[in-house]
Structure 1
């Protein structure tokens, strides 16, 4: 039986603290994530999906409650320290890559994720064959652009690079924050297919926010719905496989086909 890798216990997260505009975004939220879970995350706009990711990643501090990684509290660890075990891909293809650095240079940077930074030889040439094989698997021509500045890539290629960088060192936790939403339908589906293959092959533990019901039902072994800062629905295994879009429509009204 899979063991919990990450646990959120009675987590409360607020913004604009101690001001008249104070808002509680996560409200006594509890979530246990098991090793190897691929969880699709649904919820209406403002329900708390991105806040959940920001709290797990350390962008937003939890006001109360605890976050445990393999039983050890990380609730007070900084965002920087959490990069030792956590990677994230954002909706915007411009985030997560350095635009003036080439594709190969970005990938080399990703191999050092979570390590202390210090001056050392790059050894870029020795890594080129590995990077070419890695990018060829994306099926979008990225392998032919290893020496191209990332800012000159298409949105789909740049997002594929962000995903590769996030998974290069096999993170304990992978957060996909609507990572296909800004792409055209064909490119989005191509990246989603590759994403699923890589998660399965590497046995990654992943949470993926999506607004597409088809993707939420098709991918992953588990599905959760967030509503008003809490987990309102949590389904896994065969029960998830039997889900239909019609069953999910009752939870929210702003999701796409």
Structure 2
């Protein structure tokens, strides 16, 4: 990254509140600033209540910005709707049940994802013609998903369903991918397998990605950049060689200083 490089996404002096105009009003993000560059794979750490999910909800438009500005390249998207942001943004949630249509088959879900951000018209869905592509895509997950294209999604295992959610989110190569603790609900073996495939796809496709995780080992192992949130602000931002040299003990010692 050079000083002259333009960020893909910029959050400028962002304030996000919940329960606005009530006695329970709370400011979660406190004048937060963050520049995200094309190709960044950023792991996001922070204790409970630090603002990680609020950051993702603010970027995705689920929560309105109370002050500040969000800019995508040269466009101000501060007040852009959630629906319109899906043209350039995709998200995978912690719960494997989110992000997929349970009664639709694996292939039908992938077909739906292939139309993300495109103009909807009345036309034949051409599912049969897409099956070879979907089978090859599902095979990259190495978990048997490619043999279950005609299976209703609700009948998949949790790991297969989350793998499908990930494939759906990345099928159209979004400008920005948000991974919201997407392996947290899985057993350790399945979680590790999905993380391996996540890293491979994100790096090979040069996707720009933010990933919330509570696993320090994953935060250190994956990505080119690591940020730590505390009390609604970014207190630590390390990248490149500096991140590669970071150890678990050093990271733990940093958490000790902000608690």
**With structure 1 as the length reference, what TM-score do the two structures score?**
0.97
* Whole-angstrom CA distance in 1 between matches of 2:229 and 2:119: 36
In the TM superposition, residue 119 of structure 1 has moved relative to its aligned partner by 2.5
* Whole-angstrom CA distance in 2 between matches of 1:117 and 1:229: 38
> Once the two structures are superposed, what CA deviation does each residue of 1:23-69 show, in whole Å capped at 9, x if it has no partner?
00000000000110000000000100000000000000110100000
Counterpart contact for 1:43–1:251, Cα < 8 Å: no
In the TM superposition, residue 162 of structure 1 has moved relative to its aligned partner by 0.2
Aligned residues: 253
* Whole-angstrom CA distance in 2 between matches of 1:14 and 1:236: 29
2:240 is the counterpart of 1:237: yes
In the TM superposition, residue 194 of structure 1 has moved relative to its aligned partner by 0.3
For structure 1, list consecutive stretches of 5 or more residues without a partner in the other structure: none
Choose from 211, 215, 227 the match for 1:212: 215
Counterpart contact for 1:13–1:25, Cα < 8 Å: yes
Q: Which residue of 1 aligns with 2:31?
A: 28
Choose from 200, 203, 213 the match for 1:200: 203
In the TM superposition, residue 118 of structure 1 has moved relative to its aligned partner by 3.4
2:90 is the counterpart of 1:87: yes
* Whole-angstrom CA distance in 1 between matches of 2:212 and 2:27: 20
In the TM superposition, residue 251 of structure 1 has moved relative to its aligned partner by 4.1
User: Secondary structure in 1 aligned to 2:31?
Assistant: strand
In the TM superposition, residue 72 of structure 1 has moved relative to its aligned partner by 1.4
2:127 is the counterpart of 1:121: no
In the TM superposition, residue 109 of structure 1 has moved relative to its aligned partner by 0.1
* Whole-angstrom CA distance in 1 between matches of 2:170 and 2:8: 17
Q: Which residue of 1 aligns with 2:42?
A: 39
Counterpart contact for 1:8–1:66, Cα < 8 Å: yes
2:226 is the counterpart of 1:226: no
> Once the two structures are superposed, what CA deviation does each residue of 1:52-102 show, in whole Å capped at 9, x if it has no partner?
000000000110100000031100100000000000000000000000000
RMSD: 0.9
For structure 2, list consecutive stretches of 5 or more residues without a partner in the other structure: none
User: Secondary structure in 1 aligned to 2:219?
Assistant: helix
In the TM superposition, residue 198 of structure 1 has moved relative to its aligned partner by 0.3
Q: Which residue of 2 aligns with 1:189?
A: 192
In the TM superposition, residue 249 of structure 1 has moved relative to its aligned partner by 1.2
User: Secondary structure in 2 aligned to 1:203?
Assistant: coil
> Once the two structures are superposed, what CA deviation does each residue of 1:122-145 show, in whole Å capped at 9, x if it has no partner?
100000000000001100000000
**With structure 2 as the length reference, what TM-score do the two structures score?**
0.96
